[in-house]
Structure 1
Amino acid sequence: MAVLVALGAFLMTLAGGWTAQRVTDRRHLVLGLAGGLMLGVVGLDLLPEALHAAGTEVFGVPAALLLFVAGFLLAHLVERLLAARQAAHGGEEHFETGTAARSASTRGGGRETGGRAPEVGLTAAAAMVGHSAMDGVAIGAAFQVGGSMGLAVALAVIAHDFADGFNTYTITSLYGNARRKAVAMLVADAAAPVIGAASTLFFTLPEQPLGGYLGLFGGVLLYLAAAEILPEAHHEHPARSTLLCTVAGVGFVWLVVGLAA
């Protein structure tokens, strides 16, 4: 049953990626919405669940919050290291003349990628795939508790996976990766919940490690939203419509969380 329900997440992820591809002439709106969705998922879903599941404290601070900060710092460190390595090898020239840069510029309405390392986008997308796999595990674990619990969790996951597909494609292409790589990461992200749900047929997931993972991943997502996606959205188009898209993204996640509660 869990695997069949996870197929809904597969379809919604693909729908999110398809939507991201079709609105490239309004890229600033796409990025604004993606940033809002990511912020909403972190603050309204991932972090509360992580605090509830992890439970324990380390030197007076909840373990989930420590991992949340660690995830933020890890994302920052990875991006700085990759950017430094790219610059040391003439990365900015590559972005201005390479095929990936021209592809990203075309998708972004003629805008350059700004010297960002494609590896950062692929790493972020891989993290999204890992998160989606854990979404599938969450569906399977919930069905281990009971059918009604499984359906409630599946509803939230399926709705969130639209945002996951949207964000996976956007993040991968934002960093100058070719369209085929963005599509490949999207398909991997779509398949991940099904694989995750199927894996729970063979084990029972402990609650505390799941909470720790959610905290760590929440920190990574917050960094991407606050330090990369939202600044990029407002860089050339500081319009109120972009801000409204960000607020709408947060509101959508709030609605989903409230309906699933």
Structure 2
Amino acid sequence: MAVIVALGAFLMTLFGGWTAGRVTDRRHLVLGLAGGLMLGVVGLELLPEALEAAGGPVLGVPQALLLFVGGFLTAHMVERLLAVRQAAHGADHRVPQVGLTAAAAMVAHSLMDGIALGVAFQVGGGMGAAVALAVVTHDFADGFNTYTITSLYGNTRRKANMMLFADACAPVVGAASTMLFTLPEDLLGSYLGFFGGALLYLAAAEILPEAHHEHPARSTLLCTVGGVGFIWLVVGVAE
């Protein structure tokens, strides 16, 4: 059953990427929406799940929050190192490797979505249905963000489509893998915390500033707020 639901996530991811690729003339609105979706996923879905599932506190701080900060700093360091490397070669455009690395993180997240889906159905039908609704619905945001992030850093449409397809396949692979093993809950929580920090950095330091750079319009801000509201609705319905 989990694999069948994951096929729905596959289609929803492709639809999200297709949507992002068809509105290039309104790029600032796409980026504003992507930033809102990413912020909503991190603050309303990933971080609460990480806090609930990860291990106990380390020196008084929840493990999930430490990994959240670690993910943020890791994303910052990776981007800075790649930017310095690019500057040393005299280039003034964005670093394509950053976009590919970020998209690869999205693929890894989608893989974990599939694993979470499979584990949920092992627990019971009610739990599986709730997780399925959240995964399938927010995979539209995953596809949208994967295509947008890859393209934002100067990668070709072909590479963006390749990463989008990989992101779409990931939940199917993840769901199928749960037939072979069970992922410990604390490990899943730790991953979600780390990934949430990296995703927040990309949204706050890259996607949203780029959205408002040339088009500081009210419509862009409304798209961002709408993206957060959409994820809030998804989380609320899933609960």
Q: Provide the TM-score with structure 1 as the length reference.
A: 0.91
Residue 42 of structure 2 aligns to a residue in which SS? Answer: helix
Higher radius of gyration, 1 or 2: 1
* 2:166 matches 1:166: no
* Whole-Å separation in 1 of the counterparts to 2:59 and 2:237: 35
User: Cα offset for 1:131?
Assistant: 0.1
Query: Which amino acid is the alignment partner of residue 153 of structure 2?
Result: Y
Letter of the 1:22 counterpart: R
User: Residue 198 in 1 paired to residue 198 in 2?
Assistant: no
Q: 1:176 is matched with which residue?
A: 154
Counterpart in the other structure of 2:26: 26
Q: Could you say which residue in structure 1 is the equivalent of 2:187?
A: 209
d(CA) in 2 for partners of 1:192, 1:78: 24
Instruction: Say whether 1:242 aligns with 2:220.
Output: yes
In the aligned structure 1, how far is the partner of 2:68 from the partner of 2:85? 26
Q: CA RMSD in A?
A: 0.5
Aligned length: 239
CA distance in 2, matches of 1:159, 1:89: 42
Shift of 1:89: 1.3
Checking the alignment, whether the CA contact within 8 Å between 2:55 and 2:190 is kept in structure 1 is: no
Aligned positions of 1:72-83 closer than 5 A? 72-83=72-83
Q: Is the 8 A contact 2:102 2:149 kept in 1?
A: yes
**2:97 corresponding residue in structure 1:** 119
> Counterpart amino acid of 1:79?
E
Shift of residue 91, structure 1, vs aligned partner? 2.1
SS in 2 for 1:144: helix
Distance (Å, rounded) in 1 between the aligned partners of 2:128 and 2:159: 33
Correspondences of 1:12-51 after superposition (within 5 Å):
12-51=12-51
| Percent pairwise identity | 82
| Amino acid in structure 2 at the alignment position of 1:139 | L
In structure 2, how many angstroms separate the alpha carbons of the residues matched to 1:204 and 1:138? 10
Name the counterpart of 1:226. Answer: 204
Distance 1:205 1:233 in 2: 37
CA distance in 2, matches of 1:141, 1:246: 32
Q: 1:106 is matched with which residue?
A: none
Residues 108, 170 of structure 2: 8 Å contact kept: yes
Give the Å deviation of 1:55: 3.8
Q: Does 1:90 align with 2:90?
A: yes
Cα distance between partner residues in 2 of 1:191 and 1:45: 21
Deviations 1:91-111 (A, max 9, x none): 22xxxxxxxxxxxxxxxxxxx
Cα distance in 2 for residues equivalent to 1:83 and 1:164: 25
Counterpart among 109, 133, 139 of residue 111 in structure 2: 133
What one-letter code is carried by the residue in structure 1 that aligns with 2:25? Answer: D
| Contact map agreement 2:111 2:170 (CA 8 A) in 1 | yes
SS at match of 2:212: helix
Structure 1 residue ranges, 4+ long, deviating more than 6 angstroms after superposition: none
Distance in 2 (alpha carbons) for counterparts of 1:217 and 1:89: 30
Unmatched runs of 5 consecutive residues or more in structure 2: none
Distance 1:258 1:2 in 2: 22
Q: Per-residue deviation at 1:147?
A: 1.3
Which letter does structure 2 place at the counterpart of 1:159? Answer: T
Gaps of 5+ in 1: 93-114
In the alignment, the residues of structure 2 paired with residue 128 and residue 145 of structure 1 have an alpha-carbon distance, to the nearest angstrom, of 26
Task: Give the aligned partner of residue 57 of structure 1.
Answer: 57
